[in-house]
Amino acid sequence: MRARVGLLVWSVLPATIALGPLLGALLPGGGHLLLRDGVTTPRSHLTDSALGLGEGAARAVPQDAVVAVASSVIDGGALVVGILLLALTGAGVGAGVLIARLLDTTAAAPRMVAATVAIWNPYVAERLLQGHWSLLVGYAALPWTVVAAAALRREIGPRSVAAIVLCLGIAGLTPTGLLMNALLAVAVVLAPGAPRRLATGIVLSATALLSAPWSVAALTSGAGAASDPAGVAAFAARAEPGLGTVGSLAGLGGIWNGDAVPSSRTTWWALVGTALLLVVAAAGVPALWRRRSPVIVAVTGLGLLAVLVAALAATPLGLDVGRWAAESVPGAGLLRDGQKWVALWMPGLVLATAAAASSAVRAGVASLLVVAALPDLAWGVGGALRPVQYPDDWTRVAATIGASERDVAVLPSGTFRVFPFSGDVPVLDPAPRWLAADVLQTGDLPVGGQVVAGEGERAREVEDQLLAGRAPDPSLGVGWVLIEATSRGEFGRVDESLGALDAVHAGPDLLLYRVPDAVTPPPADRTAAVATHLLWAGLTLAAGAIVAAGTVRSRRR
């Protein structure tokens, strides 16, 4: 018990330091995360888009539905920041449990090093800066998935099956999280030395069922059947200073967005920091090799393969293949951000660094080197993670529109905004999460000086009409036009459009207009979407209850 508490406390410490000022969002009125793709609001709503029924590909399900339901009870900003804190802490504790199980040790030193590596690395820093909080939930599940899959190899029973379902269900908050953990679980159960067929079938069946919220949405709506091939190069892994692409990825860095990196990764320290991390890992390789464990080989092999594939995907040949896939293979857009799959390297890296920490002294040195490799992850990644306060206009407009059956069009054009109250960093438009009505979005993403086209054709048609000075065609089902007046962006000749609309709200930040005679679009059939979300939630909660009950019984014994 003392060892478990020590591991938990050790994991909470770096997680808290990494999030820093963002933890203020946990307090009443503490503000909200609003940084690049990370957008929280006081309350989200169970709109068609939140269920994956919009024009765009279902990339944020069941995540958006979970936040919509949970934010009816707790402030959405506190909810997401709380999940982030649990995820980072869970990554550290999971890494420690992984070491205890696979290295068969009760020593505290290697588990502490493992926890430090799992939390304090460029992947975590870059995804925090990009706002990918839900991806970090899937990342945090990786060591737990290895432990659960290894248990499934040894014995197939209610508790071992429930454990793997629970890990995949939690990771399944996003499609990428589920697929990463499923790949890892399959690699473990297929490793030589244990019965494979039934265990593999269990993992694949669980993955198929838990992916239903987004896979069924993609099949029934047709969204995401093809994606813009320009996104392949735009989202390819990036070489950091002093490192090639392989070196950046091997150090768990290399995110496509060069602006979403800690300042230390933009200088020669990127090379030094990566070298420090990999030197610590290399010191443990001989100890891992002597174990001849099929599971350890599978875990590290998959991680190295992820590094290699992500690096190859950024080469001219890899980019050509990716562009072909984007145009020809349904759902290939899910794979375009190649660097995010490097998360699969984390469990192997954790094993190697922990194997090097055979004593308290070595553990202390290793932990110091890992932290020194990325000093500016501290305090909200150098202060970049800070909660923001929305102007009062947002509350007023949300109350005015209510749960309207007609859609909302928003200007300026595009998907990202730059607000005075959120700083100079572009952020996803918060309107789709603030409003209970569906907000039309083109899904266009500005990346590296070019625009990667999204799937929102109806949104693009309405946006073009407004920019050209025309009121939206009433047949398109747009009942409201929201002008985010303080944001930078293109407004075109929208002033000419507004003359034909009814002014409803005029505040310092937002202007709201009603479209006269707008046709109410036919309601989407939510039956399948709701059923698949309930399936995912039911399986995950049931698995959690079985694991909890089994844990209580074993501790009593």
Residue span of the structural domain in which 509 resides? 392-514
Q: What is the DSSP string of 287-304?
A: HHHHH--HHHHHHHHHHH
CB 68 within 8 A of CB 46: yes
Do 441 and 328 lie in one domain? The reply is: no
d(CA 316, CA 367): 38
Do 453 and 545 lie in one domain? The reply is: no
The number of folded domains in the chain is: 2
What token pair was written down for 478?
């747009």
Helices (H), 27-132: 63-70, 76-102, 108-119, 122-130
- pLDDT of 550 reads 87
How long, in residues, is the chain? 557
What token pair was written down for 534?
């309930």
Maximum alpha-carbon separation in the chain: 76
- pLDDT of 29 reads 92
Do 465 and 353 lie in one domain? The reply is: no
Torsion angle (degrees, nearest 10) of CA 314, 317, 318, 320: 110
d(CA 251, CA 177): 20
Do 410 and 494 lie in one domain? The reply is: yes
Question: Counting beta carbons within 10 angstroms of the beta carbon of residue 365, is it exposed (0 to 12), middle (13 to 18) or buried (19 or more)?
Answer: middle
Do 219 and 274 lie in one domain? The reply is: yes
Query: Is 527 contained in some domain?
Result: no
Query: Is 475 contained in some domain?
Result: yes
What is the distance, to the nearest Å, from the Cα of residue 279 to the centroid of all Cα atoms in its chain?
A: 29
- pLDDT of 206 reads 98
Do 353 and 467 lie in one domain? The reply is: no
Do 173 and 36 lie in one domain? The reply is: yes
d(CA 457, CA 549): 49
Query: Is 524 contained in some domain?
Result: no
Whose CA is closest to 16, among 68, 70, 79, 87?
87
What is the distance, to the nearest Å, from the Cα of residue 251 to the centroid of all Cα atoms in its chain?
A: 19
Query: Is 355 contained in some domain?
Result: yes
Do 85 and 177 lie in one domain? The reply is: yes
CB 137 within 8 A of CB 83: yes
Query: Is 441 contained in some domain?
Result: yes
d(CA 123, CA 89): 15
Using the structure block, give the residue that is written with the tokens 């086209």.
453
Do 99 and 150 lie in one domain? The reply is: yes
- pLDDT of 150 reads 96
The set of residues, in sequence order, having a beta carbon less than 8 Å from that of 430 and lying 6+ positions away, is 34, 39, 41, 390, 394, 417
CB 115 within 8 A of CB 95: yes
Do 198 and 282 lie in one domain? The reply is: yes
CB 490 within 8 A of CB 412: yes
d(CA 61, CA 533): 9
CB 77 within 8 A of CB 33: yes
- pLDDT of 141 reads 98
What string of pLDDT tens digits covers the 557 residues of the chain? 677 889 999 999 999 999 999 999 999 999 999 999 999 999 999 998 899 887 767 778 999 999 999 999 999 999 999 999 999 999 999 999 999 999 988 889 999 999 999 999 999 999 999 999 999 999 999 999 999 999 999 999 999 999 999 999 999 999 999 999 999 999 999 999 877 889 999 999 999 999 999 998 877 765 555 567 777 888 889 999 899 899 999 999 999 999 999 999 999 999 999 998 999 899 999 999 998 899 999 999 999 999 999 999 999 998 888 888 877 776 666 677 889 999 999 999 999 999 988 777 888 888 898 999 999 999 999 999 999 999 999 999 999 999 888 899 999 988 899 999 998 899 999 999 999 999 988 877 766 666 676 667 888 899 999 999 998 888 888 999 999 999 988 999 999 989 889 999 999 999 999 999 888 888 888 899 999 999 999 999 999 999 999 888 877 76
Do 209 and 325 lie in one domain? The reply is: yes
Using the structure block, give the residue that is written with the tokens 């006269």.
516
Query: Is 83 contained in some domain?
Result: yes
Q: pTM for the full model? A: 0.95
d(CA 549, CA 448): 50
Do 127 and 232 lie in one domain? The reply is: yes
CB 425 within 8 A of CB 130: no
Query: Is 546 contained in some domain?
Result: yes
What token pair was written down for 287?
């100890």
Q: Hey, what long-range contacts does 282-285 have (CB within 8 A, 24 or more apart)?
A: 282/352, 282/356, 283/356, 283/366, 284/351, 284/352, 284/353, 284/354, 284/355, 284/356, 284/357, 285/352, 285/355
Query: Is 525 contained in some domain?
Result: no
Whose CA is closest to 554, among 188, 151, 131?
151
